[in-house]
Amino acid sequence: MMLSALSIAAAVALSSPATLPGAVYAMQPFAGHLIACTTEGLEVLTSDGQPVRVLGTEEGLPGTTCLALEVAGEQLFAATDAGIVSLDSDFHLEPVLDVSWQALPPAEEASAAEYVERLGLLAKVLPPDATYTVLTSRYAGTADGRVLELGTERAWSVAGAVRLIEEERQGVQVVAGDGAFFIDTQGRLASR
Question: Computed over its alpha carbons, how large is the radius of gyration of the chain?
Answer: 17
Residue 157 within a domain: yes
Tell me the pLDDT band of 21, cut-offs 50, 70 and 90. Answer: low
Same domain, 188 and 152: yes
User: What amino acid occupies position 121?
Assistant: L
Same domain, 37 and 68: yes
Same domain, 27 and 13: no
Same domain, 11 and 49: no
- The per-residue pLDDT for range 51-81, each reduced to its tens digit, is 999 999 999 999 888 999 999 999 999 999 8
| CA separation for the pair 148, 153 (Å, rounded) | 8
Residue 110 within a domain: no
Same domain, 135 and 147: yes
Same domain, 24 and 97: yes
Same domain, 76 and 148: no
Same domain, 4 and 52: no
Which of 20-54 are b and which e, b meaning 16 or more Cβ less than 10 Å from the residue's Cβ?
A: eeeeebbebebbebbbbbbbbbbbbbeeeeeeeeb
| CA separation for the pair 81, 98 (Å, rounded) | 10
Residue 118 within a domain: no
pTM (2 decimals)? 0.81
The per-residue pLDDT of the chain, averaged, comes to 87
| CA separation for the pair 39, 192 (Å, rounded) | 32
**Distances in Å between the alpha carbon of 17 and those of 66, 81, 162?**
11, 11, 11
Same domain, 9 and 24: no
Residue 35 within a domain: yes
Same domain, 94 and 25: yes
Tell me the pLDDT band of 23, cut-offs 50, 70 and 90. Answer: confident
What is the DSSP code (8-state) at residue 3? Answer: P
Cα end-to-end span (Å), the chain: 11
Q: Above 50 in pLDDT, residue 4?
A: no
Range of the domain at 26: 20-101
- What is the mean pLDDT of the segment spanning 89-104? 93
Q: How many domains does one find in the chain? A: 2
> Which ranges of 18-156 does DSSP label H, i.e. alpha helix?
112-125
The domain spanning residue 81 has which CATH number?
A: 2.40.10
| CA separation for the pair 110, 73 (Å, rounded) | 6
